[in-house]
Amino acid sequence: MGAEASGSGPALQELVREAEISLLECKVCFERFGHRQQRRPRNLPCGHVVCLACVAALAHPRTLALECPFCRRACRGCDTSDCLPVLHLLELLGSTLRPGPAAPRAATCAPGALTCHRAFGGWGTLVNPTGLALCPKTGRVVVVHDGRRRVKIFDSGGGCAHQFGEKGEAAQDVRYPLDVTVTNDCHVVVTDAGDRSIKVFDFFGQIKLVIAGQFSLPWGVETTPQNGVVVTDAEAGSLHLLEVDFPEGVLQRTERLQVHLCSPRGVAVSWLTGAIAVLEHPLGLGSAVGSTTVKVFSPTMQLISQVDSFGLSLFFPSRITASAVTFDHQGNVIVADTSGQAVLCLGKPEEFPVLKPIITHGLCHPVALTFTKENALLVLDSAAHSIKVYKADWG
């Protein structure tokens, strides 16, 4: 009986966590519903549920007219009502829910921890962003998201400098972008899951090349120091190198670097060593839900090291689900963790894993990472629809 009760504990915790994510979060701002005024769940006439704060943000200030952010049905803010089933579920679960994000505490920051200096973007400017890149020449930030124009470029002040990539069915349109990179000569490369292609634009948004018919599901994309492009194919389980004459828009060569990977998504290249890190999301029957694996290969594609969620759990008390990977300027592997809403340093590949949290607060759902030349870490937070800039505080 005792063994049965102890065995049901993790299952019950997983059930509560699933309810918390699926039912008890506003899917516009990704904040947990609550009984206090701004977080009260409100029914829209169409049946979708959002928090009162988002109703107020979406409604016109004078007419109170708004569109449901999910089905686009028109309604008025005064036509909403409390969602009693969600309020009752909040009361029923009560103390079993995880506490909300705590205020930053200096005492909990690990050595080398980073703090958020500013953020830009936000709901409306960005909609469910999925990929982040930095232009090596201009320092401008490029993000792909679910807006009407899929590619948005921000200047150094966080303002929108340019956007392109119309949502549409034409070959030059971008249907469902997953990731983005910017080449050394300022060309923007996007993986498009909508038509399973890779699309190359110049920095002003003119289409240069569409690579279609070669991938099952292109996902992660990154530029190499030699101005090549590495791409993961999540459905085929492979990693590819593309050599392109970007000014002319000509694909010169493709090479399959790795096969038999398990649903590879994120990819990163170290400009210090040339190592390539791949983030796998195993989907097999023997894999735990949310399990991820980080594999690091040498420039000659020899496996240097790897670590999975179970291996990381031996060093860290809570579950880790890696959602993005990058290298810092010293060659350390850095991953985003959506389970812990954190960013972790795994150390250099030959030392795996030397686990050290470097961001422990202020994130909701980090999905992409990149370092600037000034060693600031940019984190794309999909739940907050924003880019957050983290730096080390030396004083």
Per-residue pLDDT at 359: 94
Q: Exposed/middle/buried for 81, CB within 10 Å: 0-12, 13-18, 19+? A: exposed
pTM > 0.85: yes or no? no
Q: In angstroms, rounded to a whole number, what is the distance separating the alpha carbons of residues 163 and 203?
A: 10
CATH number listed for the domain at residues 114-392: 2.120.10.30
Per-residue pLDDT at 62: 63
Per-residue pLDDT at 287: 53
In one-letter notation, the amino acid at residue 327 is F
Q: In angstroms, rounded to a whole number, what is the distance separating the alpha carbons of residues 86 and 83?
A: 6
Q: In angstroms, rounded to a whole number, what is the distance separating the alpha carbons of residues 223 and 94?
A: 47
Q: In angstroms, rounded to a whole number, what is the distance separating the alpha carbons of residues 187 and 151?
A: 12
The Cβ of residue 97 has, within 10 Å, a number of other Cβ atoms equal to 15
Looking at residue 224, the DSSP 8-state letter turns out to be -
Per-residue pLDDT at 343: 95
Q: In angstroms, rounded to a whole number, what is the distance separating the alpha carbons of residues 229 and 183?
A: 8
Residue ranges in the chain whose pLDDT is less than 50: 1-7, 100-111, 285, 394-395
Looking at residue 243, the DSSP 8-state letter turns out to be E
HSE, side-chain direction, 13 A CA sphere, residue 302: 3
CATH fold of 12-94 reads Herpes Virus-1 (3.30.40)
Alpha helix stretches (DSSP H) within the chain: 2-22, 52-58, 84-93, 309-313
Contacts of residue 166, Cβ cutoff 8 Å, sequence gap at least 6: 148, 149, 150, 173, 174
Per-residue pLDDT at 191: 98
Per-residue pLDDT at 54: 82
Q: In angstroms, rounded to a whole number, what is the distance separating the alpha carbons of residues 378 and 369?
A: 6
Place of tokens 């759902």: 365
Domain ranges of the chain: 12-94, 114-392
Per-residue pLDDT at 96: 60
